[in-house]
């Protein structure tokens, strides 16, 4: 299964990046990481002739069997960079009916961001596979930055299995 992953954090050593790496280790998964930090701020004026980075994101979604969104929560809300990426996709055809696994994880549980992103993804006509909102922090990574928390690893396995079903 070919997956396109979008992480709410641009930091390579973030806990959400670690969750994306755990997903990539799932059996039968080929994962590509979307570079959403390359996208300009969304503007409907720019969408008339989308920038190359936007066209690349849309093409990657079209080529993927499904999308994975892993996000943290900032100030009880969704990270702006990830929301910006989704704004570029709202008027695009590529995400329509595409399966999307949403996993939210923050020290406080990420329930607010999870609810907001769930609504956005459904509004975009994506087929949501809910991977849940989890209490998760860097303390649940090993010294090399990989996920060792059994509950998170189980959530990843379960989410990927439901995504592929």
Cβ neighbours of residue 71 under 8 Å, at least 6 residues apart? Answer: 7, 8, 9, 16, 78, 79, 82, 102, 103, 104, 105, 110, 113, 114, 117
Please tell me the pTM assigned to this model: 0.96
Proportion of the chain above pLDDT 90, given as a percent: 98
Return the exposure string of 68-90: e unless at least 16 CB atoms fall within 10 Å of the residue's CB, then b.
bbbbbbeeeebbebbbebbbbbe
Whole-angstrom Cα distance, residue 77 to residue 157?
26
CA-based end-to-end distance of the chain = 11
8 Å CB contact between 2 and 64:
yes
Residue 87, H or E segment = helix 80-89
pLDDT per position as a tens digit, 88-114: 999 999 999 999 999 999 999 999 999
Q: Determine the 3-state secondary structure of 46 from DSSP.
A: helix
Is the pLDDT reported for residue 12 higher than 90?
A: no
8 Å CB contact between 149 and 138:
no
Is the pLDDT reported for residue 27 higher than 90?
A: yes
pLDDT at 74: 92
């Amino acid at each position: 299964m070919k997956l396109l992953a979008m992480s709410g954090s641009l930091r390579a050593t973030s806990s959400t990046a670690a969750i994306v790496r755990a997903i990539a280790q799932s059996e039968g998964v080929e994962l590509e990481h979307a570079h959403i930090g390359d996208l300009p701020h969304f503007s409907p004026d720019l969408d008339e002739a989308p920038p190359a980075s936007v066209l690349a994101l849309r093409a990657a979604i079209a080529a993927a069997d499904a999308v994975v969104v892993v996000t943290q929560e900032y100030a009880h809300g969704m990270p702006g960079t990830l929301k910006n990426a989704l704004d570029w996709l709202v008027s695009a055809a590529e995400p329509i009916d595409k399966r999307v696994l949403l996993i939210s994880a923050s020290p406080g549980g990420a329930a607010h961001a999870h609810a907001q992103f769930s609504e956005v993804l459904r509004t975009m006509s994506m087929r949501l596979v809910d991977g849940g909102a989890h209490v998760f922090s860097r303390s649940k990574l090993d010294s090399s930055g990989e996920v060792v928390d059994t509950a998170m690893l189980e959530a990843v396995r379960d989410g990927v299995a439901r995504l592929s079903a």
